[in-house]
Amino acid sequence: YLSVSSATSSPSLATFPDGDRDRAINLDHGDPTMYERFWQQEGDKATIVIPGWQSMSYFSDIGNLCWFLEPEFARQVLRLHKIVGNAVTENRHIVVGTGSTQLFQAVLYALASQDSEEPVSVVSAAPYYSSYQAITECLKSGLYKWEGDARSFAKEGRFIELVTSPNNPDGFLRDSVLNRSGGVLVHDFAYYWPQYTPITSSADYDIMLFTVSKTTGHAGMRIGWALVKDREIAKRMVKYIELNSIGVSKDSQLRAAKVLKVVCDSCESSSNTTESLFEFAYQLMVERWQNLRVAVKHSGMFSLPEFSPGFCKFTGRIFEPLPAFAWLKCEEPIEDCESFLRSNKILTRGGRHFGVGPQYVRISLLDRDDNFDLFVERLSSIRKDNLYQH
């Protein structure tokens, strides 16, 4: 009954034989493999060749505060923000990181006081991105301490509030919830791109994190960047990356520069035959969210967040947010949504990882077409009337 994926039926890299329709579908991680098809279509446009003698030195730009930043990568980052209009780049330092995961750790180090008795508190409004807690706690550092949900945070003293907008896992746009002094805001803009949400304004905050993982789909390149206003904070972030990995892979930065260049070129090209990366991903997300909402309705056992439309200055379109994850709620009588879906061979990440209850799960919408389509089909067939038959 569900017509899934008419426009998405071209071959993907990993196709499964038809007899494999009972396989488990793993949508736990936000692995952005749906972008492979775009880059296949681009052919050799983003291919680079690195001779054996190139990129050997530790150093990239010794005159720059971030001495391991490849100038061409920095140029393409600035160009992309200018084209999309999602962040102010003037009077900022760019710090490159091994994914924004490393930049988050660099921020914790940079904002912690080395000579304070008390660790700085780290908070984010629940549901929050599950890695913040895991990363903050993993080394049992005395410099910073995970304090959980920002909405119930009442401790005295310095704090860092992580503001993820659009939010992972629920997709809503967010502002800081702690309106008081003594804190530093870190804006995680991994999903502030026009395939996921209308670009309503150019973000203008002190510390902003971005990643190629969710922008172009190149998660395996492990490249992220921070736009940082304060020179001292940027310097301390650079110091952390120096201590942690003596810089960031030049090969990856050069490849990221090329990939971002192709994205920028595709946005600027006026020809009808070239589709921009953002247009490709937007169309796919529209179709995926439509199919998902139909399946949820047909099933009658789940619910999804509802979003208000906004005007996107980049595309000139009005549209509702199309988050990279579905934040699915199981309706009664199901109490543990993650194990319920697992019994139906759909692997997701349960609400507890994000600081809320087990009736919620997060489901990646960025997987390859065949996996996503099978997931939607399976979800729509989970119905109350079938539930007690076996």
Residues near ligand PMP (CB under 6 A): 30, 99-101, 129, 164, 168, 188, 190, 211, 213, 219, 224
Concatenate the DSSP letters of all residues of 259-326 into one string.
HHHHHHHHHH---TTPPPHHHHHHHHHHHHHHHHHHHHHHH-SEE------EE-TTT--EE----SEE
CB nearer ligand PMP, residue 213 or residue 380:
213
CB nearer ligand PMP, residue 211 or residue 266:
211
Instruction: Output the smallest distance, CB 167 to ligand PMP, in A.
Output: 8
Instruction: Output the smallest distance, CB 310 to ligand PMP, in A.
Output: 20
Dihedral sign for Cα atoms in the order 379, 385, 387, 390: negative
Residue nearest to ligand PMP (CB): 99
CB nearer ligand PMP, residue 174 or residue 342:
174
CB nearer ligand PMP, residue 175 or residue 331:
175
Q: Please state, in angstroms and as integers, the Cα–Cα distance from residue 383 to each residue in 214, 225, 331, 379, 380, following that order.
A: 33, 44, 11, 9, 7
CB nearer ligand PMP, residue 129 or residue 307:
129
Instruction: Output the smallest distance, CB 101 to ligand PMP, in A.
Output: 3
Spatial separation of the C-alpha atoms in residues 319 and 164, rounded to whole Å: 20
Strand positions, DSSP E, the chain: 25-26, 93-98, 120-124, 144-149, 159-164, 183-188, 207-211, 223-228, 302-303, 310-311, 318-319, 325-330, 346-347, 349-350, 360-364
Q: How far is CA 81 from the centre of its chain?
A: 16
CB nearer ligand PMP, residue 104 or residue 340:
104
Instruction: Output the smallest distance, CB 242 to ligand PMP, in A.
Output: 19
Instruction: Output the smallest distance, CB 7 to ligand PMP, in A.
Output: 26
Instruction: Output the smallest distance, CB 156 to ligand PMP, in A.
Output: 28
